[in-house]
Amino acid sequence: MAKNNKKEKIKKVKKQEKKTSEHVSPFSPKMIGMIADEVAKALMKTLPRRRSNGKRKKPKKIENPIFLDTSAIIDGRVFDMINLKVFNGTFVILESVLLELKHIADSPEEIKKEKGRRGLSFLDKLKKTKGIKVEVISADQERNFELDKVKEVDEKLIKIGKSEKGKVITCDFNLEKKASISGVSAININTLANLLKVRAIPGDAFSIKLLHKGKDSTQGVGYFDDGTMVVVENAAMDIDKTVEVKVSRVIQTTAGRILFAKKTI
């Protein structure tokens, strides 16, 4: 009896194996392989990414880096200063800044387009200038500096400026202040230009060519080379002439200083 039971069990197992072997998968081997690959990729995304030595590739140290932002590149005055050797170091351009410039250069607005193209032209000339070090940090290199974690271009400049102990050159007042608060040295070209304007006090005498009338029809207006306006009283008849004047008062406006003067002859 026990033998018969054993035989019956063996028959059932063989019968089940036969059914299993006859079962046809709805997926082809190729499809199964593709599904397995997709599952493996999805699983890998959930795991920590391995890096060499457990860290990102350490970027090469930049020698005395000076980071240019978009506003300074478009403004253009910084390139004259660079050519005069006012700044010494390696001028660094982030790819994020280049993308901003390209976006501006592709603008449908003619003025913005011209500014963007002019900025790119300035950079191209700078790279070709002998004796001046220029380095462009690509998107891959930005990741090495962990800049891929930062969205705003200004924040990227501040972060890399701080980590590399460099300077940021800008025409953006807000970036200048944010950089200073973060402990990064920032130079605002507009502030620098105002500091370089001619100093004059009441009593100073000089000659100046008058170019046009002032707000008051009796005034004549001239300018110093740095753009400082000089308003000369009772000089409307001397337009296109050079006159001797003496400063009577100086006023400070948001646009800069204005000198008021009187003719001495």
* pLDDT tens-place values along the chain, 265 residues long: 544 555 565 555 455 545 444 444 444 555 544 544 554 444 344 433 334 344 556 677 888 999 999 999 999 999 999 999 999 899 999 999 999 999 999 999 999 999 999 999 999 999 999 999 999 988 888 888 788 788 899 999 998 998 899 999 999 999 999 999 999 999 999 888 878 877 888 999 999 999 999 999 999 999 998 888 999 999 999 999 999 999 999 998 776 789 999 999 7
3-state secondary structure (DSSP) of residue 119:
helix
Dist CA 51 CA 143 (whole Å): 13
The verdict on residue 156 lying in a domain is yes
Same domain, 140 and 178: yes
- Per-residue buried b or exposed e for 155-173, using 16+ beta carbons within 10 Å of the residue's own CB: bbbbbbbeebebbbbbbbe
| CATH code assigned at 86 | 3.40.50.1010
Q: Is the dihedral of CA 103, 61, 155, 52 positive or negative?
A: positive
| CATH code assigned at 231 | 2.40.50
Range of the domain at 235: 205-263
Dist CA 232 CA 219 (whole Å): 6
Q: Can you give the pLDDT at residue 147?
A: 85
Same domain, 183 and 69: yes
Same domain, 175 and 221: no
Q: Measuring CA to CA, which residue among 169, 186, 168, 167 is closest to residue 177?
A: 186
3-state secondary structure (DSSP) of residue 132:
coil
Domain final residue pick, 172, 194, 216: 194
Same domain, 157 and 212: no
Dist CA 253 CA 29 (whole Å): 79
Dist CA 108 CA 207 (whole Å): 46
Q: Can you give the pLDDT at residue 46?
A: 41
Q: Measuring CA to CA, which residue among 140, 98, 137, 136 is closest to residue 119?
A: 98
Domain final residue pick, 144, 159, 194: 194
Q: Residue 198 class from Cβ within 10 Å (0-12 exposed, 13-18 middle, 19+ buried)? A: middle
The verdict on residue 23 lying in a domain is no
pTM for the whole thing? 0.63
